[in-house]
């Protein structure tokens, strides 16, 4: 079956075959080059400068620079990104892998801007979600969608295949290296993991997507090239595995566990109404963490 029968370039729906599900279990990631078409990606790319220009707490800037390192929760106040959050080509393979409905745990647009984009040290995401957010299990998936081409020069995401099988690895809280504190894994451990699994860095045109396990160890170098590497990073969690603690602000770790309802496959190009509850402002209660149990 082909989707968008009227469109010039037709894209098959993402239904993972047994080889892909085995590959995900073995390596901890799957790469889908050109999953979104240039006309679809353009709508997202064109929206980014407006989002990055806003002075709102969701924009975290690089250390010593005004370049945006990451923008949080755009799906709550931007129509194209609210549609992307409900896109079946992104959501359905994850529902297939988890066998359950999903909610959006975290939504970021990472800048990694030309010359200014700083490193993301070696880390796993689930360690933070477990320790800070009390997410019970690693039943949340990371997704990277390229808005710019990712090449060997602009800080591609590096993954250590198979590292997801080790569960949560000991990490230290690095509050100094970049503007965004991260639980990072020490170099001796990384050396051992890389001896075992190597490093891959999926590269490709805008519109490519990586799905990766929330325990997969990953990092990226700084971007010294003249090319931006803007990518959307989404984390979708199985609804039954929702976080139990609201220690971090709601715009970083979402507190609404309503299952995502997919829009049709043409949603980026066609008109669909999407809720934009934070369009005018972020609700004050979402700006701060609270230590109360959820």
Which spans of this chain sit near ligand SIN (rule: CB under 6 A)? 110, 112, 120, 157, 218, 220, 233
The least distance separating Mn ion from the CB of residue 283, rounded to whole angstroms, comes to 26
Q: How far is the CB of 147 from ligand SIN (least distance, A)?
A: 12
CB of 143 to Mn ion, least distance (A): 11
Burial class for 261, CB neighbours closer than 10 Å (0-12, 13-18, 19+): exposed
Based on CB atoms, which residue is closest to ligand SIN, 87 or 218? Answer: 218
Nearer to ligand SIN, 148 or 286 (CB): 148
Q: Which does 32 bind (CB under 5 to 8 A by kind): Mn ion, ligand SIN, none?
A: none
Q: Which is nearer to ligand SIN, 139 or 218 (CB)?
A: 218
135 contacts 197 by C-beta, under 8 angstroms? no
Rounded least distance, CB 142 to ligand SIN, Å = 7
Take residue 214 and report the two structure tokens written for it.
């929330």
* Interatomic CA distance for residues 105 and 132, integer angstroms: 13
State the CB neighbour count (10 A cutoff) for residue 230.
Answer: 23
Cβ distance to Mn ion smaller for residue 42 or 203? 203
In angstroms, the CA 232 to CA 86 distance is 14
Contact partner, 112, from Mn ion, ligand SIN, none, Cβ < 5-8 Å per class: ligand SIN
88-98 and 18-27 helices cross at what angle (nearest 10)?
80
Residue whose CB is less far from ligand SIN, 213 or 265 = 213
89 binds, among ligand SIN, Mn ion, none (CB under 5 to 8 A by kind): none
Residue 262 vs residues 56, 103, 143, 266: alpha-carbon distances, Å: 28, 11, 16, 11
Site residues for Mn ion per CB under 5 A: 125
């Amino acid at each position: 079956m082909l989707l968008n029968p009227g469109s010039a370039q037709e894209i098959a729906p993402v239904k993972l075959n047994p080889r892909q599900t085995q590959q995900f279990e073995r390596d901890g990631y799957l790469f889908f080059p050109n999953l979104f078409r240039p006309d679809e990606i353009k709508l997202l790319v064109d929206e980014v400068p407006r989002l990055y220009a806003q002075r709102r707490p969701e924009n975290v800037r690089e250390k010593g620079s005004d370049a945006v390192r990451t923008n949080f929760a755009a799906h709550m106040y931007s129509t194209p990104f609210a549609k992307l959050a409900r896109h079946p080509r992104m959501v359905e393979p994850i529902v297939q892998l988890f066998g359950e409905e999903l909610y959006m745990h975290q939504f970021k647009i990472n800048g990694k801007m030309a010359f200014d984009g700083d490193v993301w040290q070696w880390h796993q995401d689930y360690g933070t979600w477990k320790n800070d957010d009390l997410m019970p299990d690693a039943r949340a998936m990371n997704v990277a969608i390229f808005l710019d081409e990712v090449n060997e020069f602009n800080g591609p995401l590096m993954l250590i295949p198979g590292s997801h099988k080790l569960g949560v690895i000991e990490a230290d809280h690095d509050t100094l290296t970049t503007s965004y504190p991260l639980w990072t894994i020490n170099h001796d451990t990384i050396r051992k993991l890389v001896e075992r699994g190597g490093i891959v860095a999926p590269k490709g045109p805008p519109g490519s997507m990586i799905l990766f396990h929330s325990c997969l160890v990953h990092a990226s170098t700084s971007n010294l090239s003249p090319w931006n590497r803007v990518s959307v990073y989404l984390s979708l969690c199985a609804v039954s595995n929702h976080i139990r603690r609201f220690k971090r602000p709601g715009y970083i770790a979402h507190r609404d566990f309503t299952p995502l309802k997919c829009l049709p496959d043409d949603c980026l190009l066609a008109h669909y109404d999407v809720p934009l509850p934070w369009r005018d402002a972020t609700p004050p209660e979402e700006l701060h963490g609270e230590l109360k149990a959820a």
